[in-house]
Structure 1
Amino acid sequence: MKCHRLDELISLLQPAWRQEPDLNLMQFLQKMADEAGFTQPLTELTDDVLIYHLKLRGTDKTEQIPGLKKDYEEDFKTALLRARGVIKD
């Protein structure tokens, strides 16, 4: 794991875990995995799953994912033309 990812994970994990002080770390990680719909063993839980779940936890289910929002186009034709380089920003 890269240092910046570790820092990001800790900064997201700390406030969320403080809201549930009665859980130990493994219980809290299991709870995050369950909330994220992760069904594999906890040993296979990746930092990506934790980071994205903690970032999006508590947001509206219909809200756009922040990383995808920047690439959003209203209609398919414009998106296709922009992707092919016909339309430039």
Structure 2
Amino acid sequence: MSCHRIDELLELLEPVWQKHQDLNLTQMLAKLAEEAGFTGPLAELTDDVLIYHLKMKETGEGKMIPGIAKDYVEDFDWKGAILKARGFDDSER
């Protein structure tokens, strides 16, 4: 795991751990794994599962994933985008 992922995980973990200061690290990871629906052994829990769960934990049901929301465009014109990518001017139609 690279340093930026460790930093991201620690940043996301800190506020949750502050609420459950009585837990040690292993207990906190087991709690998060259970919340995320992870059923395998704790040794197989990946940082991706933890990061995704911690990011989505505070997001309401039915909300868009934060990383996708920034790129979302309402009523995107796929046909126009494909024509433009192929070199056709959309106004020529």
Deviation at 1:71, TM superposition (A): 3.8
Offset at residue 43 of structure 1 (A)? 0.6
So what's the TM-score if we normalise by structure 2?
0.76
Once residues 40 and 85 of structure 1 are traced to their aligned partners in structure 2, the CA distance between those partners, rounded to angstroms, is 47
**In 2: Cα distance, 1:36 partner to 1:13 partner:** 14
Q: TM-score, normalised by structure 1?
A: 0.79
- Runs (4+) of structure 1 moved beyond 6 Å? none
Q: Determine if the alignment matches structure 1 residue 55 to structure 2 residue 69.
A: no
Query: In the alignment, is the contact (CA less than 8 A) between 1:12 and 1:51 conserved in 2?
Result: yes
Higher Rg of the two aligned structures: 2
RMSD (CA atoms): 2.0
Give the length in aligned residue pairs.
85
Offset at 1:63?
0.5
Unaligned stretches of 5+ in structure 2? 86-93
* Structure 2 Cα separation of the partners of residues 71 and 85 of structure 1: 20
Identity of aligned residues (%): 55
Counterpart in 2 of 1:29? Answer: 29
